[in-house]
Amino acid sequence: MPYNQRPLTLYKGQLQINAGYQFAVRSKSYNADGEKISLKTDGSASIMHTYIFELKYGITDFIEIGMNSYYLRNGIRSESGVTLSGSDAVTTNSLNEYKGFGDLTLAAAFRIPIEYKSYDVSLKGGITLPSAEHQPSEPTHAITDYVSPNTYTVNYHFNNNNGIGVPIYFFAGSAKITLSKISLEASGNYSFPAKEGESIRWNWTLIGSKFTYNSIPYNYLPDRTLTINGSVHYQAAGWLDLFLSNYYSKTSSGWTEYYNLKYANPETALFTIEPGFELQVSPSLTIYQYAGFHLTGTNTDAPFYLLTTIRFNMFPFWK
């Protein structure tokens, strides 16, 4: 079904499977004043690979349920350091690796119970369950290039997981209006944590060339997040929808404990535009792709990304 002819939720009995891959180049970020910082010159630019899975089902023509999750891999290097002492040199490299599944999100959406012709409104709510590991795994630091007790390389390797650690509730609203080949869509989403979480930090001791580790617990509260999204679509042909989205997100109210004191997380904001297309390959198969360019922001990373998704639609229980 072309984008300009379909409602905001699935039809009764419709099963939709989305499988996506996002390639992101994390090469800049914004500081607290909204100034752009090059992570390349900061020595910490990195690449993110995200695999996204989503399953949705239409209970009726007006009610839809769904679930989604992702798998993310990202290795963030920090600026290498060399401590020189006479002819001795100790080099330190540091890698923060994020690897693993993200949490599982369950959602239900309702739309106004009228046949879709030119406008639609929907409400959505759900929960992100802490299904993925949140606490960081034990680091795997190592000594390499050992020449003498005072000349060697220390490779710090921190192993992080992608779970949030506590349930996150969210609710959202969307509206869509179609004027022939042009459609406009707007949506807003607000998410907030159900409770405080507990995590650990790893400390380590180096004796000879052997590291020993111990963990220290701390409490935290994930941020509340508001996202607002607007998009304009042009149905160039029955099989091709071109769109330009903009995306604004803002986080606040989270905190993290250090030495038994709670410190507020920096509030972040990010404004992104996403040009893209949706291609109807066959009645059951759709491909869509868009790129993300960040225009402004504060206190946050701003990776360029390219997302490609293959979408299967079917009516498995229809005879």
Partner 1 sequence: MKRIVNILILTLATLVGYGQTEKQLVPSDLKQLTVVTEPSTLYKGFFRAGTALSYAVVDKYFTNDRNKEYFLNSAWATNSGFNFIFQYGITDRFQVEAAFPLASNIRQSESRLYVPSADTTVEYSFTLKSKGIGDCYLTLKYQIMNEKASNTSLIGSIDVTIPTGEKNPTYIKGETDYDPPLGNGCFATTAGLRFRKIQYPYSYSGYLYYTYQLPGSKIMDPSDTRETEFKDGNHLDAGVNFSLHLNEWIALTNEANLYYRSKDKIDGKIPDYANISWAVSYEPRLVFQIKRFRISEAVRIPVFGKSMGADPIYVLLAQYVF
When the beta carbons of 74 and 183 are compared against partner 1, the nearer one is 74
Q: Is position 87 an interface residue for partner 1 (rule: CB under 8 A)? A: no
- Give me the phi and psi of 156, to 5 degrees please: -85, 125
**Stretch in the footprint of partner 1 (CB under 8 A) among 62-70, 198-206, 280-288, 294-302:** 280-288
- For position 261 contacting partner 1 by CB under 8 A, the verdict is no
Can you tell me the distance from the alpha carbon of 305 to that of 82, in angstroms, rounded to the nearest whole number?
33
The SS3 of residue 267 is: coil
Distance CA 200, CA 218 (A): 6
User: What are 201's two structure tokens?
Assistant: 């930090």
Q: Are 254 and 265 in contact (CB under 8 A)?
A: yes
At residue 5, φ and ψ (nearest 5 deg) are -115, 0
| 209 contributes a contact to partner 1 by CB under 8 A | no
Rounded least distance, CB 4 to partner 1, Å:
20
Q: Which of 91/265 has CB closer to partner 1?
A: 91
Q: Which is nearer to partner 1, 100 or 126 (CB)?
A: 100
Footprint on residues 227-256 left by partner 1 (CB under 8 A): none
Distances (CA, A) of 131 to 70, 215, 255: 11, 22, 22
Task: Please report whether residue 84 would count as binding partner 1 according to CB under 8 A.
Answer: yes
Q: What is the CA radius of gyration of the chain?
A: 23
- By beta-carbon proximity to partner 1, the closer residue of 194 and 281 is 281
Q: Strand 304-314 relative to strand 285-298: parallel, antiparallel, unpaired?
A: antiparallel
Q: Is 148 in the site for partner 1 (CB under 8 A)?
A: no
Residues 35 to 54 in contact with partner 1, rule: CB under 8 A: 40-47, 49
Rounded to a whole number of angstroms, the minimum distance from the CB of residue 80 to partner 1 is 4
User: Angle at the Cα of 16 (from 11 to 19), degrees rounded to 5?
Assistant: 155
Q: Minimal distance in Å, beta carbon 9 to partner 1?
A: 26
Give the binding site for partner 1 (CB under 8 A). Answer: 21, 23, 25, 27, 40-47, 49, 75, 77-86, 93-95, 97, 155, 157, 279, 281-282, 285, 287, 308
